[in-house]
Amino acid sequence: MTSAVPQPLALVAEITHRCPLHCVYCSNPLELARRDRELSTETWSRVFREASEMGVLQADFTGGEPLARTDLADLIRSARAAGLYASLITSGMPLDEHRLDELVRAGLDHLQLSYQGPREESSKEFAGANAHAQKLHVAKWVKDRRIGFTLNFVIHRQNLGQLEEMITLTEELAPGRVEFAHVQYYGWAFANREWLLPTREQLDRSLEILKDAEERLRGRIRVEWVVPDYYAKYPKPCMGGWGRKVLLVTPTGDALPCHAARVIPGMSFENVQERSLKQIWDDSAAFRKFRGEDWMQEPCKTCDRRAQDFGGCRCQAFLLAGDAAATDPVCSLAPKRSIVAAILSEVNSAPMQTAKQPDWIYRPNPA
């Protein structure tokens, strides 16, 4: 490995955990941050300036629901003033045209609107809220303004049968870009995994449909997707490598290498209220822990792919194999691959028709 510290490209600004939705696959940690502990507008402004000075190009505003912060326009304005590209990842609730105009005037570059599926029942079942009709309004308002627009459909076992309907809805709403994101199994999704993980047959069919849509919509809508890595031959290069391209700041100011890093025991994360973002990125134990290759075990240590996938995901290695430094068990070369194989075998042996009604664990709203 080289000893130079890499330069981060994106800052994930998780500005609040408050959210009107209760998605069963929410990527937030099981322990949610309270409103009275959220960072101030001024601290976020400093974080954006520090991020920009470090070479970060983009700020992704996420949550929870970022719209829950009444100072969102000010935060976007300060990110733009710092020289960052400002992207909002939102459920579209609560939003009206007046507030959208305020965000656009503040310099919002891009809005990503999440959907639970193509129908009203989808949001009711998977987000525990009636959100679909509002999202359709938001999509129309965004189209009327000159900002980037992405639709994001979270797909899984329970809604993959409606994938073609989702593509039809995408064509009607005509965003510049659409993401079909198979659920990744962390946080609330890990808790609900048995109801979410698709069968092999569903996955294969979904990839056929998506490849067809990509081809058909080329030049009109950019179609992208994320596959569930339990089915992959090799792991995903999680976050582009630990402490390598992306950093995340939580609502209370902890700087993390990824959304899920808190699940790894024995890790402590430094806070932007105590040290600069650059000091934390360069020197903190958490960011150095799995940076580079020194931490790797076999087979990663000598694997030809180690500079491509960085051994996969550290959080997943801990969640599945109980060892955050192990090869990601989704890898076909992993010593602990049998754990994933057993999960897949169970999912694929239970016929969908006889599966009982899901017993969801819904994500609550923090105080």
Q: Is 219 in the site for another protein (CB under 8 A)?
A: yes
Question: If you ran DSSP here, which 8-state letter would residue 324 be given?
Answer: T
Q: Is 136 in the site for another protein (CB under 8 A)?
A: no
Question: Furthest-apart CA pair in the chain: how many Å?
Answer: 56
Pair of tokens at residue 270: 């430094």
Contact segment (CB under 8 A) with another protein among 13-21, 41-49, 145-153, 295-303 equals 145-153
Which residues, in sequence order, are CB contacts of 139 under 8 Å at separation 6+?
A: 92, 113, 149, 151, 173, 175
**Shortest reach from residue 87's CB to another protein, in Å:** 7
State the sign of the Cα–Cα–Cα–Cα dihedral 49, 50, 53, 57: negative
Which is closer to another protein, CB of 19 or CB of 84?
Answer: 84
Alpha carbon distance, N-terminus to C-terminus of the chain: 44
**Shortest reach from residue 171's CB to another protein, in Å:** 14
Comparing C-alpha atoms, which of 76, 39, 45 is closest to residue 273? 39
Phi-psi region of 241 (alpha: psi -120 to 50; beta: other; left: phi over 0): left
Q: Is 87 in the site for another protein (CB under 8 A)?
A: yes
Contact positions with another protein (CB under 8 A) in 44-83: 52, 55, 57-58, 83
Q: Is 245 in the site for another protein (CB under 8 A)?
A: no
DSSP secondary structure, 63-75, as one string: SS-GGGSTTHHHH
Given 109, 121, 125, 171, the residue binding another protein (CB under 8 A): 109
Q: Is 222 in the site for another protein (CB under 8 A)?
A: yes
Given 25, 48, 115, 149, the residue binding another protein (CB under 8 A): 149
Which is closer to another protein, CB of 56 or CB of 160?
Answer: 56
Backbone angles phi, psi at 110, to 5 degrees: -155, 140
Interface mask (CB under 8 A) for another protein, residues 150-179, using x and -? Answer: x-------------------------xx--
Positions in the binding site for another protein (CB under 8 A)? 9, 52, 55, 57-58, 83, 85, 87, 109-110, 112, 146-150, 176-177, 218-219, 221-222
